[in-house]
Chains A and B, each alone.
Chain A
Amino acid sequence: MERYYKKRFWLLVAPAIILFTMVILIPFILGIIYSFTGWRGTYFAGGDHFWQAFVGFDNYVKAFKTSKFIVAFIYTFKFAMIAVVVINIVSLLMALMANSLNRGSGILRTIYFLPNLLGGLALGYIWAFIFEIVFSQILFGKTGFLSIPFLTNMTQNNTKSLFALAMLVTWQMAGYMMVIYTAGLNNIPTELTEASMIDGATLWQRFRYVMVPMLMPSFTIVFFLTLANCFKLLDQNVALTDGNFNTRMLALQILRTTRDTSPPNFGVAQAEAVIFFILIATITLIQVAITKKREVEL
């Protein structure tokens, strides 16, 4: 029987290989090569072909000397740290609370999940208005309901928009992550929680020594998704501040590099993109390695 599949293997995987090669593999390899050349998008500075236009590590040096890139780099890190922590705490608490209910957890989950289906750009526009008008005037302004200066004009200040962005992203993603945590919680055998209750474990002990170890596979997925999505965030960044007030994150920085330079320097943009790839690959691989190691086998 093995032979039957072997004979047809290449035919069956061919469409996938073609798609993969066209859309990912070729551009990825070209991208790495181009990052070492004087690529200008439509031509190469210094020659007709890329092999005549090699500039060594110049583009990388230039990228690290561009203050906008460094600012975006740091801003992305800060945002990802805040957002990942907040999303995880909120969504895990939501899953734990909803799971302890006798009724109604299904409908609540349905509501929480909804924002995740809607586009980041469209909702970003709405939140921009909420931050500008509702927060700044009605709720937390000087004449508002409760005066909290930090929560006013959040999209017009570098630090504040970090938190505005985190609020928006948490609002969008917490429901999704909650669904994953809920699936994980439902996978914990009831004997385990019951046994711990009979042994007289407190709520905290039950959470720390029964649920957390059993939830490790969910932590792996949720951390992977939140880390990757936060580092790659673009739409919400465009919609809220459009990168003004030095709030560009890396994804937006790479796209705008070609607009910042004249003639558009695609070589530098591509070097930034390669650095971006290395950063994301390293962080997510380290994270998966750490959380995977803690997963327990039953």
Chain B
Amino acid sequence: MKMQLKRKLFQAIIYILLILLAIYTLAPLVFLFINSFKSNGEIVNSPTALPEKWSFCYIASAMKSINYFQSLGITFIVTVASVVLLVGVSSLCAWAMVRCKTRASTILFMCFTAAMLIPFQSVVYPLLNEFDMLGMKNIYGLVIMYGGFGLSMSVFLYHGFFKSVPVSLEEAAILEGANTLQLFFGVVFPLVKGITVTVVILNTMWIWNDYLLPFLVIGNENGIKTLTLELYFAKLTSGQYGNPWELIFPAVFITIIPIIVLYIFLQKYIIKGVSDGAVK
């Protein structure tokens, strides 16, 4: 009896600790939410209070100053294009490398894996130079760059997964006369849906939020900017006279809201995708 009581008490303490941690995790986001409806003075004087009146005008002006719908669309297109490119290229490559056990294939795999150790900063300046020369220092070049930077990890994840896919199904399809692309997309690709989800999620997470590459590739020159880039410049240009919190809070709020909405619907897949990626 005493044992059971002790156990219950122990459980209760753990619950309390974990709930406190959850509050700590969510607090900055709640804080962000309530301050998106306040004026600068109100934010600085009473940052933790609820807004006196829920006014959407700050959100509206933030939307205008970061060209919200345009930059949201651009970020969306860039992310989707990069992820589709990555999934297509890396799955084909990993499949070929697993099925064909030659020395070239082993060396190639080692090169891809080793490249995971190369930090972005070590290649970025020559990369920009190269793409400038090719006339691709633009949004298309950006997609290709994301394709290159995400490649190593994606190939690695697919490679680990293809090893456990039996070859017998493919043999049957080959004997029936399917061509290579039919074979891959009709037979093989559906079998690796699980890892595709992981690859998509892990890549979307960093490409969507990345600010540095768009900053260096697109910069401030023309009107095409991604969300994080707009946010950065909004803070930079209006920050000359103290911090414009009534712009930053709503701007940050509207940049993260699409992800939060997506997360609410897809959280099961996202968490599963991440933990699958870690086990392999």
Contacts and interface: CB of A to CB of B under 8 A. Distances in A.
Pairing of A with B = yes
A212 interface: no
A111 B14 contact: no
Nearest to A115: B25
A171 B28 CA distance: 10
Given A9-B102, A24-B148, A121-B231, A232 B119 contact: yes
Contacts of A13: 92-93, 96-97, 105, 108
Contacts of B25: 111-112, 114-115, 171, 175
B118 A24 contact: yes
B48 A234 contact: no
B127 interface: yes
Interface string B163-191: 00001000100100000100000000000
Nearest to B26: A111
Contacts of A130: 28, 31
Given A13-B93, A114-B260, A122-B231, A251 B267 contact: no
A266 B145 contact: no
B211 interface: yes
A11 B181 CA distance: 11
A113 B144 contact: no
B31 A134 contact: yes
Interface in B60-110: 85, 88-90, 92-93, 95-97, 99-102, 104-105, 108
Assign chain B's interface to a size class: 35 or more
B44 A133 contact: yes
Interface stretch (A51-59, A96-104, A156-164, A190-198): A96-104
B119 A251 contact: yes
Given A6-B102, A179-B278, A31 B123 contact: yes
B130 A27 contact: yes
Interface of B: 11, 14-15, 17-19, 21-22, 24-26, 28-29, 31-32, 44, 47-48, 85, 88-90, 92-93, 95-97, 99-102, 104-105, 108, 111-112, 115, 117-127, 129-130, 144-145, 147-149, 151-152, 155, 167, 171, 174, 180, 205, 208-212, 228, 231-232, 235, 243, 245, 248-249, 252, 255-256, 259-260, 263, 267, 270-271, 274-276, 278-279
5 contacts: A23-B149, A27-B124, A97-B14, A101-B18, A273-B124
Interface of A: 1-2, 4-6, 8-9, 11-13, 15-17, 19-20, 22-28, 30-31, 34, 41, 94, 97-98, 100-102, 104, 108-123, 125-127, 129-130, 133-134, 138, 171, 175-176, 179-180, 182-184, 187, 217-218, 221, 231-232, 234-235, 250-251, 254-255, 258, 266, 269-270, 273-274, 276-277, 280-281, 284-285
